[in-house]
A and B are shown apart, each in its own frame.
Chain A
């Protein structure tokens, strides 16, 4: 085990675990022993919000696109869609990922 992992640091990642020379499958076994994958899995709140967000955005596309696209001024309308999309990405990062996944605090 690498020093980093041995220190009990939360950043025991696949890359910080020294590769075993005894074989690939042994290497995978070693990773299962040393990398606490359960610590890194997505939080339930994040999972819930992610699935709801994807479903809602799909429905928004399904309902609004036919009414707003491929009409006279669509090149302008599509810009608004793109801006709204990135804005939603920022909200999700700020309100869901940052608090639930510790995006800012986590260090490699």
Chain B
């Protein structure tokens, strides 16, 4: 049952939102230049960086979407979360050291110096498109939480959430975002873990839950995830989700965190602890979903509402208020990052491209204006989606085709600019068309091949195409097409491997004129 905002829960939530707003504005006092606004100029220590890395990822998906998945099928939620663990390892093992050392301004700048300008431009455009879905998902999640707890219409709640996140992000920049993220992740963790322990004590452990009739057949079966339709294999879902999670690594908010690290150690350990957080989530969120099914029954129309409804059903008002605040915290802490990342990218890569003489102050001002406009566009698109995960997965499937180029940018010296460019364009384009076809049925025969398959599984097709184009294209073009700064490491650091020296010797021989 919904409450008035003028209730115990309402007062707690309002006080919390005011506090977060204040912290965000306070964090903004350190923002003097565009680089401060964008990445704190490399000033984040281990605690703050872990906080902001975790808080960004623990968005509406984690405590609303995955709980909703867990409500439908326990392993639907668990495998989903474990996919994120591997995503953080990819970041820590392969990307953190390279990108912190090079210290590019943005993901586009990285692609621009590793490949060429057209790759940078594709990266900017893809960031603007994909972040739209992620940010919209957070706005929608904010509305979902508020409308479950309070008698506020969901559309109004979405607009209130969007306004709050936008204002403190515009003023606070990356410093404001980072500080609020730390507070939000503490509140969130305590609430989610506390909720599970509370349920464990009051409702019994899983030994008790498994005996109840409310769970459908195969609910506890890890290898048969019934809601997945034709492709119910748990292992396939896990590997699909690993790639879907990897699909958001090219987004600029990740780069902002990599270059915001004080040093290489911090840059490495923040994503490792991020992965550890998702090991915890792999238990916490599905467990809450399972308890929600036990307490609330099987008739929830929108599973995303399982956690807030459960809190409202079981907890006293002041604790339910804290849970409401925590749920809003995860949503806001992701929303601010998804907003800041693409809007600063647009200011740097698009505005600066056409106004190279613009001063730092001017770019900072334009960046703030772009943040406002981007939030407005996203808010408009968010009002047309019903479920949080549906919105996010649609956009991430496009990003799936960027994974080969992203991995190659840090780890494969032979990757050429043209091969990288066409792998992203062709793979992303195919995935976008397949996803749109799924929604609009332009070519029904394609959809008829897997009538009951989750739509995002089509991402494998664009990913495979992108991988083939990248590898085959790079070999066909040959090593001479690799930019010189990548092909010929400077001898100052002594090189790394015998293979590199041989490659350099080969390249040098090719340049000899007989």
Contacts and interface: CB of A to CB of B under 8 A. Distances in A.
Contacts of A18: none
Contacts of A12: 490
Contacts, number: 200
Interface residues of B, number: 80
Interface in B218-243: 220, 222-223, 234-235, 238-239, 242
A2 interface: no
Contacts of B86: 54, 57-58
A35 B220 CA distance: 53
B352 A65 contact: no
B268 A41 contact: no
Interface string A73-88: 1110010011001100
Contact of A72 (B206, B268, B492, B493): B206
B401 interface: no
B453 interface: no
B249 to A, nearest CB: 13
B104 interface: yes
Interface in A18-48: 20-29, 31-44, 46-47
A108 B263 contact: yes
State the main secondary structure of chain B at its contact with A.
Answer: helix
Residues of A in contact with B, size category = 35 or more
Interface stretch (B135-143, B163-171, B279-287, B461-469): B279-287
A40 to B, nearest CB: 5
A70 B417 CA distance: 47
A66 to B, nearest CB: 4
Contact of B488 (A28, A38, A50): A38
Interface in B319-357: 348-349, 352-353, 356-357
Interface stretch (B13-21, B106-114, B389-397): B106-114
17 contacts: A14-B105, A15-B42, A15-B103, A31-B109, A32-B116, A36-B492, A39-B493, A47-B411, A50-B94, A54-B86, A54-B90, A58-B238, A72-B207, A82-B279, A97-B93, A103-B264, A106-B101
Interface of A: 8-16, 20-29, 31-44, 46-47, 49-50, 53-54, 57-58, 61-62, 65-66, 69-75, 78, 81-82, 85-86, 89, 92-93, 96-97, 101, 103, 106, 108
Given A71-B205, A78-B279, 8 more contacts: A28-B109, A39-B490, A39-B492, A41-B486, A47-B411, A54-B86, A92-B92, A103-B265
Interchain residue pairs A-B with the least CB separation, the first 3: A28-B112, A50-B93, A66-B222
